[in-house]
Chain A
Amino acid sequence: MAARSGKSSTPRLAAGALALLAASGIAAANPQRIVSINVCADALVLELASRAAIASVTFMATDPYFSPRVEEARGIPVNHGQAEEVIAFQADLVVAGQYSGQNAKGLLRALGYPVFELELPVAIPQVREQIRRLAAALGESARGEALIARLDARLSAAQDPGGSPRPLAVIYQPNGFTLGRGSLADELLTWAGIDNLAAQAGIRFWGRLPLEQLLLAEPDLLIFEQSPGKAPALAQQLLAHPALQRLRARVISREIPNSHWTCPGPWLADAAESLAEARRLWSVEHAVQRRRSADR
C-alpha cells in the first residue's frame, strides 16, 4: 500500500493496525489440533508441541520397534494414517512423512488442510534443519532451538577427536540389510571415529550384505537393531545364524534402535553416545591386544 504524503498519521495508524492484526494472526495460527500420520513425525511432535495441542498420533507411536518416544505417546488417540481419520479429528495441522502416505497427503492438500512434510535426514545438519522447520510450523521455535542446542552439546561430547586407529563396524538388520555411504548412520559412524563396512563394500544408502562377506571382512564392531518382540519372521533368522552368533561372542556388539537414525530428533545423540562408548571400549581392548602381541 503506497503511503500518501499529506495525512501522515493514517498510514502509520494503518501500519500499526496491520501489525497488530498480523501478530494476533500468528498467535492464533499456533495449531491446536495437530494430527501426525507418520511415526517419525509422532515422536518429534511429542518432543516439541504441548500435549494439549496434539489431537492424534499413529498407532505405531507406542511400539518401541518403530518409535523413539513410546511413553509420551500413551493416552493419545491413534490414527492409521488415513485422510478420513485426519478429517474426523478436525486437524488444523497435519504432519506427514516425506515418502509415505502419498494418497492421504494429496487428498488432504486438495481439501485445504495444511500438510507439513518431515524429511528423512541423510546428514546431521539436516536433522537440525528438520527440528527447526517443524518447531516453526508448530509455533514452538524457542523449544526447537533449545532442543538443537542440547543435541549439539551431546554430539560434540561424542565426537571422536581423531588420530587413533579406527575400528570397522557393520550395521546388520533383518534380512541382512545394512546402511552404507550417504546415510545418516554412516555419517554418525564417521563422527564417532568408526569405519563402516557397508560403505567400504560400496553400498550407498541401504542395501543387503551377504553373511559370508560380513564374516570375511572381520569387523570389530557389530551393530544390531534392538531385539524384536516375540513375533517371529524369517527376516530375523539370519541374525540368529550360528556363524553370526559365533562372531558375536568374539567382538563388541551394540543395539541401536533403527528409529534413532532414521527419524530426525534428539535421539540421534543417544545413538552417537552409544557408538562413542563402543569405540572407547574397542580402543582399550585394541591397545591391550597390541601390547600383548608386542610382548610375545
Chain B
Amino acid sequence: MPSSAAAPPTVDGSRPGPVRPLAALLLSLAVLVAVLFIASLLAGRAFLPLLQRLLGHFGGDGETLRLILLEIRLPRALLAVLIGATLGLAGAVLQGLLRNPLAEPSLIGTSATAALGAVLSFYSGLAGVFPYALPLGGMAGAIVGVVLVIVLAGSNGGASALILAGIAINTLAAALTSLVLNLAPNPHAALELVFWLLGSLADCSFEHVRVAAPFILLGWLLLLGGGRALDALSLGEDTARSLGFRLESLRLRIILGIGLSVGASVAVAGSIGFVGLIVPHVLRPWVQQRPSLLLSVSALGGAALTLAADIIARLLVPGPELKLGVVTALIGAPFFLHLLIRLRSSLS
C-alpha cells in the first residue's frame, strides 16, 4: 500500500508526491490489460482448435485462422478495452462530480437512456442510412440521462436521492425501450431487449469499432482533462470556486465527456453495468483518494475488468455464451450490496 501521503520534501526542494507509486500502478495495470487482451484473442469455444493451429502448422489454410483472429476476436478485444476503460473512467468522474460513492453510468440511468437513444436510431432504420446515427443516438440519450440525474438529485443530494433518481430514470428508459422494440417493424426486434439491457460483445466487428472509437476517444479527452477540477471539488464547492475553478464549465465538460464516451459505448454493446462502480472503489485506496489520479487508473482497471468478464462470459457455461452484463452483474451486485451496507449509517 503506497504510503508517501505524508512524505516531507526532499533535500533539493522537489516534492516526491505519489508519482513513483502511481507510475508503478499504471504500469502494472497496463501489463494486466495487455495479458488479458492476448487471453481474449485466444479465448472462445474455438479455443483448442485455434491453439492447435497456432502451435501446429502454419501451412494449409491459414485463411480461416486469420479470419477468426482478425475479424472476430481482435475487434471484440479492442471494444472490450475501449468500453471497459470508458466505464471505469465514467464511474470515477461521476463519483468525483456528484461526491457520491454509488454513482456510475448504469446505476444512475445514463446507460439506459443511451440505450433508448441508440434503439430509436437503429430500429427506425436511420442507422442503416447513416452509420454514425447509431452512436449519435446513444450520445444524445446519454447526455439527456446525465442532465436528468443532475437535475433530479442535485450535486449535493445524499446517496438516497441519487439512487432514487437512478431508479426512476432506469425504469422509464427501460419501459420506453421495450415499447420501441415492440413497435419496431422487424419481428426479431422484440426479443432484443435483453441485449440492450444487459450488453454483449458477441460477434462485434471492425464496423462497430470504427463507428464508436472516435467518439469514445473524444470523450476520454474531455474527461481526463477535468482531473484537477475534481480534486478541488472534493474539498467542497465553495473551496473549489475560491481556488478559481468554474464549476459550471466542469459540469458541462463532464456531461459532454460522459455523453460522448458512454453513449457511443452503449450504442454498440448495450448497457453494461457495475464496471464503473467496482473499479474506482477497488483502486481508490491506491491513489490516496485523489480523484485526478483515480481517473487514468480507473480507465485501465475498467479495461482489465471488462476483458476478464468477456473471457468468463465465453467460457463459463458449456452452452451459448453469456451476456456480458450478466457476468458484470454477478460480480457487481454483491459488491453493490456490500457498499450499501457499509454506507447504511450515512444513508439514514
A binding-site residues for B, Cβ under 8 Å: 65, 174-176, 208, 210-213, 215-216, 218, 228-238, 241-243, 246-247
The 28 sampled A-B contact pairs (Cβ below 8 Å) are: A211-B203, A212-B45, A213-B46, A215-B68, A216-B50, A216-B64, A231-B123, A231-B186, A232-B127, A232-B128, A232-B186, A233-B186, A233-B187, A233-B188, A234-B122, A234-B195, A235-B186, A235-B191, A236-B186, A236-B188, A241-B71, A241-B72, A242-B71, A242-B205, A242-B207, A243-B71, A243-B205, A247-B67
Query: Contacts A213-B45, A232-B127; is A174 near B188 (CB within 8 Å)?
Result: yes
Q: Output the least CB separation between A259 and chain B (Å).
A: 13
B61/A238 in contact, CB under 8 A: no
B335 within 8 A of A: no
A235/B320 in contact, CB under 8 A: no
B binding-site residues for A, Cβ under 8 Å: 44-46, 49-50, 61, 64, 67-68, 71-72, 122-123, 125, 127-128, 184-189, 191-192, 195, 203, 205-207, 320-321
Please report the C-alpha to C-alpha distance between residue A181 and residue B185 in the assembled complex, in whole angstroms: 32
A241/B205 in contact, CB under 8 A: yes
Q: Output the least CB separation between A80 and chain B (Å).
A: 14
Write out the residue numbers on chain A whose beta carbons fall within 8 Å of the beta carbon of B188: 174-175, 233-236
A212/B46 in contact, CB under 8 A: yes
Task: List the 6 closest pairs (A to B, CB-CB), nearest first.
Answer: A231-B185, A235-B188, A231-B186, A243-B71, A233-B186, A233-B188
Partner of B61, one of A213, A218, A237: A218
Q: Output the least CB separation between B54 and chain A (Å).
A: 13
Write out the residue numbers on chain B whose beta carbons fall within 8 Å of the beta carbon of A213: 45-46
A242/B125 in contact, CB under 8 A: no
Write out the residue numbers on chain B whose beta carbons fall within 8 Å of the beta carbon of A211: 72, 203
Known: A65-B187, A232-B128, A242-B71. 4 other contacts (CB 8 A): A212-B68, A216-B68, A243-B68, A247-B67
Write out the residue numbers on chain B whose beta carbons fall within 8 Å of the beta carbon of A241: 71-72, 203, 205
Write out the residue numbers on chain A whose beta carbons fall within 8 Å of the beta carbon of B49: 216
Write out the residue numbers on chain A whose beta carbons fall within 8 Å of the beta carbon of B71: 241-243, 246
Please report the C-alpha to C-alpha distance between residue A237 and residue B71 in the assembled complex, in whole angstroms: 14
A232/B123 in contact, CB under 8 A: yes
Q: Output the least CB separation between B180 and chain A (Å).
A: 12
Candidate in A218, A241, A243 with the most chain B CB atoms within 10 angstroms: A243
A230/B67 in contact, CB under 8 A: no
Query: Contacts A230-B125, A233-B123, A243-B67; is A210 near B192 (CB within 8 Å)?
Result: no
Please report the C-alpha to C-alpha distance between residue A212 and residue B72 in the assembled complex, in whole angstroms: 8
Write out the residue numbers on chain B whose beta carbons fall within 8 Å of the beta carbon of A233: 123, 184, 186-189, 192
Write out the residue numbers on chain B whose beta carbons fall within 8 Å of the beta carbon of A238: 203
Please report the C-alpha to C-alpha distance between residue A241 and residue B71 in the assembled complex, in whole angstroms: 9
A210/B61 in contact, CB under 8 A: no
Q: Which residue of B lies closest to A175 (CB)?
A: B188
Write out the residue numbers on chain B whose beta carbons fall within 8 Å of the beta carbon of A229: 185-186
Partner of A215, one of B64, B127, B185, B206: B64
Please report the C-alpha to C-alpha distance between residue A216 and residue B68 in the assembled complex, in whole angstroms: 8
Write out the residue numbers on chain B whose beta carbons fall within 8 Å of the beta carbon of A234: 122, 188, 192, 195
Q: Output the least CB separation between A52 and chain B (Å).
A: 32
B45/A210 in contact, CB under 8 A: yes
Q: Output the least CB separation between B61 and chain A (Å).
A: 7
Q: Output the least CB separation between A65 and chain B (Å).
A: 8
Q: Output the least CB separation between A262 and chain B (Å).
A: 14
Q: Output the least CB separation between A146 and chain B (Å).
A: 34
B128/A218 in contact, CB under 8 A: no
A218/B206 in contact, CB under 8 A: no
Please report the C-alpha to C-alpha distance between residue A125 and residue B197 in the assembled complex, in whole angstroms: 44
Write out the residue numbers on chain A whose beta carbons fall within 8 Å of the beta carbon of B46: 210, 212-213, 216
Partner of B67, one of A65, A210, A231, A246: A246
A212/B186 in contact, CB under 8 A: no
Please report the C-alpha to C-alpha distance between residue A212 and residue B187 in the assembled complex, in whole angstroms: 26
Q: Which residue of A lies closest to B196 (CB)?
A: A234
Candidate in B67, B128, B320 with the most chain A CB atoms within 10 angstroms: B67
Partner of B192, one of A230, A235, A246, A247: A235
Write out the residue numbers on chain A whose beta carbons fall within 8 Å of the beta carbon of B207: 242
Write out the residue numbers on chain B whose beta carbons fall within 8 Å of the beta carbon of A65: 187
Write out the residue numbers on chain A whose beta carbons fall within 8 Å of the beta carbon of B189: 231, 233
Please report the C-alpha to C-alpha distance between residue A103 and residue B256 in the assembled complex, in whole angstroms: 51
Candidate in B61, B72, B122 with the most chain A CB atoms within 10 angstroms: B72
Write out the residue numbers on chain A whose beta carbons fall within 8 Å of the beta carbon of B68: 212, 215-216, 243
Write out the residue numbers on chain A whose beta carbons fall within 8 Å of the beta carbon of B125: 230-232
Please report the C-alpha to C-alpha distance between residue A232 and residue B207 in the assembled complex, in whole angstroms: 16
Q: Which residue of B lies closest to A250 (CB)?
A: B63
Q: Which residue of A lies closest to B270 (CB)?
A: A234
Please report the C-alpha to C-alpha distance between residue A212 and residue B202 in the assembled complex, in whole angstroms: 11
A212/B44 in contact, CB under 8 A: yes
A242/B186 in contact, CB under 8 A: no
Q: Output the least CB separation between A197 and chain B (Å).
A: 14
Please report the C-alpha to C-alpha distance between residue A64 and residue B184 in the assembled complex, in whole angstroms: 18
Write out the residue numbers on chain A whose beta carbons fall within 8 Å of the beta carbon of B191: 235
A231/B184 in contact, CB under 8 A: yes
Please report the C-alpha to C-alpha distance between residue A233 and residue B187 in the assembled complex, in whole angstroms: 8
Write out the residue numbers on chain A whose beta carbons fall within 8 Å of the beta carbon of B192: 233-235
Q: Output the least CB separation between B177 and chain A (Å).
A: 13
